[in-house]
Amino acid sequence: MWMCAAFALFCAAFAFNGFANLGTVSDDAERDLSLGYSWFWMFLGAIAVVFGILSWMIKEGRFGDSE
């Protein structure tokens, strides 16, 4: 669970760096590529958050077999 949180923070920081530097890119093709990579890192961070929540729910016994 904690590794998921750390990875999600890493992904969010990497994506934020990409979004923040879009103004410095003058080529339209490179700007589109940078935007795509930033959204990809945000997607990876969202997946990490989902798996972190699922692992916490499994640990707490709120997900899975109710018996």
CA–CA distances in Å: residue 42 to residues 4, 10, 39, 56, 61: 14, 10, 5, 21, 29
- For 38-53, what is each residue's pLDDT tens digit? 999 999 999 999 999 9
pLDDT along the chain (67 residues), means of 10: 92 93 86 92 96 90 68
For residue 38, the model assigns a pLDDT of: 94
- State residue 13 phi and psi, 5-degree precision: -65, -40
Please report, for the chain, the start and end positions of each structural domain, with discontinuous segments joined by +.
Answer: 2-60
In this prediction the pTM is 0.81
